[in-house]
Amino acid sequence: MLAGAGPLPGDIVAACESSGREVFIIAHKGITDPEVIGSAPHEWVHLGAVERVIALLHGRGAEEVVFAGPIKRPSLTSLRLDGRALKLVAGLRRNDHASGDDKLLSLIIGELEGEGFRVVGIDSFLPDILAPMGPLGASAPDEAARADIALGCRVARALGSLDIGQAVVVQQGMVLGVEAIEGTDALLERCRGLRREGPGGVLVKLKKPGQEARADLPAIGPATVDGALAAGLVGIAIEASGALVIERAAVVAAADAAALFVIGVPPGDA
C-alpha cells in the first residue's frame, strides 16, 4: 500500500488482517499518520523517492499495489526527487500543458506496472466505500437543488476535462467556486463568504472524465459534511460508483442531523 493521509490506510490494514491477507505499507514522511498504520509492517520514505519505493516493493515480494489516502501535491522544488522521479517529471512536462494530478498518477501507475506490479483500486479491499446511486440519508434534493446539481455536473466535468479539479459549489444557478489545487475543504471555506441570500447551495464532486479510477477518486467524509453545513449549503452530490464515501455511517449521521442531503448521481450528465 502506498499510504497517504487520513484514515483509509488504517481501514485497508484492518480489511487485510480480517481476511488474512498480507500487507506492507509505504508510508510517506510528513503525510501518513503513524497512528493510522499502527504496528503493521511498513517503511517510511520521502515523497519523490521512486527508486526506493520500487526497491522496497520488490524486496517484500509485493504483487499488488493500492493507493490509499490523499497526498497533497507539493511544489517540485520542495521534493527530494531521485533519478527515476526526475524522469517521470520530464515525461509530465513533455505532455504539453497537461500536468494535473491525473496525468501524474497515470505516469506513476505505468511505472509500477512496468515493474510487474498489479495496481488495484481501493474498492478491491473496501467494496462498500464507493458511493451508491441515490440519497445516502433521510434527505433528498428539491427541484431547485436538482437544477443546481445539473449545472454543477456540467461545470465539474468541464473542469475535470482539463485535469484541474473535481468539485464545484453552485447556488441558485450561480457558480460560487470551483476547486483547484487548494482542495475541497478550502473551497467550502472560501464559499462561506460568497454565498448569496436565500435558499440553496450544493457541492458537486465528480470523477474527472477519463480519470484513472485506481487512484485519487473524489472523496467525501464527515469533515465534508461539516464544511458544507458551515458554508450554508443544503446538500452534496457525488458520482455513484465514482466517488469514495469515507466513514459512511458518520457521514449519514452528520447529514441527517443537519437535514442536509448526500446523493449519488449517475455518471455522465445528471
Could you read off the pLDDT tens digit of each residue along the chain, which spans 270 residues? Answer: 999 999 999 999 999 999 999 999 999 999 999 999 999 999 999 988 889 999 999 999 999 999 999 887 665 555 677 777 777 777 666 655 455 566 778 888 888 999 999 999 999 999 899 999 999 999 999 999 999 999 999 999 999 888 888 999 999 999 999 998 888 999 999 999 898 888 889 999 999 887 778 887 899 999 999 999 999 999 999 999 999 999 999 999 999 999 999 999 998 644
Helix (H, G, I), strand (E, B), or coil: what is residue 143?
helix
Distance CA 99, CA 147 (A): 32
pTM of the model: 0.86
- Ordered domains of the chain (ranges, CATH): 2-124 (3.40.50.20), 134-265 (3.40.140.80)
Task: Name the β-bridge partners of 43.
Answer: 26
At which residue does the C-alpha cell 489545487 appear? 181
Residues 128, 18, 67, 6, CA torsion sign: positive
Helix (H/G/I), strand (E/B), else coil: 237 = strand
Which residues are registered as beta bridge partners of 203?
A: 169, 236
Task: Please say whether the beta carbons of 86 and 79 come within 8 A.
Answer: no
**Residue 92: helix, strand or coil by DSSP?**
helix
Q: Which three cell numbers stand for residue 266?
A: 449517475
Number of helices followed by number of strands (H, E) in the chain: 9, 13
Euclidean distance between CA atoms 203 and 158, whole angstroms: 16
Question: Is the sign of the CA dihedral 218, 191, 251, 25 positive or negative?
Answer: positive
By the 10 Å C-beta count (0-12 exposed, 13-18 middle, 19+ buried), 237 is classed as buried
Cell reading at 256:
441527517
The three-class DSSP label of residue 185 is helix
Spatial neighbors of 55 by CB under 8 A, at least 6 apart, are none
